[in-house]
Chain A
Amino acid sequence: MSFFQVNGKCNGCLACVQNCPASALKYNDHPQSRTIQHNMALCARCGNCWRVCPQDAVEFKSLLAGTWDEVANFDLVHCRMCDEPIYTKALGKTVANKLEGNIDKALGQLCPEHRQVLSMASWRKQFDNGDHQPLKEGCK
């Protein structure tokens, strides 16, 4: 679906094409018909087309509201404790390649909150085993 939309009142007069400062509109005359084309990448959304249209045919609101187009889709890695999505598998792979390691293993496949809990638990375990350095004075 085009972001630039015209309603049934458009009569192909080309006022919009002639007044687009960004050259985002063009037309093609085929032997029997005329088509008007719009290039969203060039469009400055200045609204000139909408202003100059003598037919009130340009539905400029569609250029302001737009729609969301899906541009990519990835599988997610979830926290094994709470199931919260934490990163994509593809990101994990990229980071793993850079670090020459396994990100899932490094992060324990845990969200930041549960990584912190786990970290505290391992400290506690060390304390419970008596396998710890004495805390500095003032530390709680």
Chain B
Amino acid sequence: MIVGKLKPVEEIIAFVSNYKKVAVLGCGGCVSVCLTGGDREARALACELGQQGPYPQAPPEFTALTIERQCERDMVESFLEIPAGTEAILSTACGAGVQMAADVFGHLPVMPALNTTFLGAFDGPGLWRENCRGCGDCVLGITGGLCPVARCSKQLFNGPCGGSSGGKCEISDNVDCVWQLIIERLKERGRLSECMAMFPVKNWSKDRGGGPRKMTKTANQF
């Protein structure tokens, strides 16, 4: 899922302090599940920002509302009703949701309350780990289900490098060397030979190199 992290509250306050009425727009999708931008977080943020705090004058009036998925145009257009008199929107969605709100409510300034951080997996209560970069050319079938694009600091395809020591990456003792993990896993499963061949140069045009990506698809009929 897409994992987001709340921006520093000072940054958010700087966004909203010049408005009198602000709608905090939660998203019921990924950021709800990762506990940073769902209905509960939107209401908590509205409550917190509504305190006097560092505002030079009276704090803005905050209203919290949440839509199931803020990144879907027709859903936002059809079902999201911004309260009358709202001067600005503070979105707790990921970047895709913020941009959708900005598209749909073009007459209002829309600001992000989160920093969209990574595509991650839920690893246990309260813990999400980045494990996919959405590079557009998945190599997990060869690397034992461990991604060198997201999890190797150098994005090496022929690892490990000389910075790998004791199973850890040279950037931090807290970061596993994914190539160590790949080799250990494949060895354990008797598949080491699968990653021993030299990886060809990766085609990065399927990543961001080819500009913003898009996809068209209809549901399968079966």
Q: Would you call B40 and A42 a contact (CB within 8 A)?
A: no
Find chain B residues with CB under 8 A from A20 CB. 40
Interface 1/0 per residue, B98-142 and A, CB below 8 Å: 000000000000000000000000000100000000000000000
Stretch of B14-22, B31-39, B51-59, B187-195 with 4 or more beta carbons under 8 angstroms from chain A: B31-39
Find chain A residues with CB under 8 A from B28 CB. 22, 42, 44
Please list 13 pairs of residues, one from A and one from B, whose beta carbons are closer than 8 Å in the complex, sorted by A's number: A20-B40, A21-B32, A21-B38, A21-B40, A22-B28, A22-B39, A22-B40, A23-B43, A23-B66, A44-B28, A44-B29, A44-B32, A52-B125
A51 at interface by CB-CB < 8 Å: yes
A118 at interface by CB-CB < 8 Å: no
A46 at interface by CB-CB < 8 Å: yes
Find chain B residues with CB under 8 A from A44 CB. 28-29, 32-33, 38
Q: Would you call B125 and A22 a contact (CB within 8 A)?
A: no
Q: Would you call B39 and A23 a contact (CB within 8 A)?
A: yes
Q: Which residues of B are interface residues toward A (Cβ below 8 A)?
A: 28-29, 32-33, 35, 38-41, 43, 66, 125
Find chain B residues with CB under 8 A from A46 CB. 32-33
Query: In the bound complex, what is the Cα–Cα distance between A51 and B39 (angstroms)?
Result: 19
Query: In the bound complex, what is the Cα–Cα distance between A21 and B44 (angstroms)?
Result: 11
Q: Would you call B39 and A42 a contact (CB within 8 A)?
A: yes
Find chain A residues with CB under 8 A from B29 CB. 44
Number of A-B contacts (CB under 8 A): 29
Interface residues on A, range: under 10
Q: Would you call A51 and B125 a contact (CB within 8 A)?
A: yes
Most A C-beta atoms less than 10 A away, residue of B32, B66, B125 = B32
Given contacts A21-B35, A21-B40, A46-B33, 7 further A-B contacts (CB under 8 A): A21-B32, A22-B32, A22-B39, A42-B39, A44-B38, A46-B32, A52-B125
Find chain A residues with CB under 8 A from B38 CB. 21-23, 44
Smallest CB-CB separation from A43: which chain B residue? Answer: B28
Find chain A residues with CB under 8 A from B125 CB. 51-52
Query: In the bound complex, what is the Cα–Cα distance between A10 and B11 (angstroms)?
Result: 42
Smallest CB-CB separation from B37: which chain A residue? Answer: A21
Cβ-closest 8 pairs across A and B: A46-B33, A23-B39, A21-B38, A21-B32, A44-B32, A22-B32, A21-B35, A21-B40
Interface 1/0 per residue, A17-31 and B, CB below 8 Å: 000111100000000
8 Å CB interface, A1-49 against B: 20-23, 42, 44, 46
CB of A34 to closest CB in B, whole Å: 20
Q: Would you call A23 and B33 a contact (CB within 8 A)?
A: no
Query: In the bound complex, what is the Cα–Cα distance between A52 and B35 (angstroms)?
Result: 14
Query: In the bound complex, what is the Cα–Cα distance between A52 and B32 (angstroms)?
Result: 16
Smallest CB-CB separation from B41: which chain A residue? Answer: A21
Smallest CB-CB separation from B31: which chain A residue? Answer: A21
8 Å CB interface, A74-103 against B: none
Find chain B residues with CB under 8 A from A23 CB. 38-40, 43, 66
Find chain B residues with CB under 8 A from A52 CB. 125
CB of A4 to closest CB in B, whole Å: 16
Find chain B residues with CB under 8 A from A22 CB. 28, 32, 38-40
CB of A27 to closest CB in B, whole Å: 15
Find chain A residues with CB under 8 A from B32 CB. 21-22, 44, 46
CB of A31 to closest CB in B, whole Å: 28
CB of B46 to closest CB in A, whole Å: 13
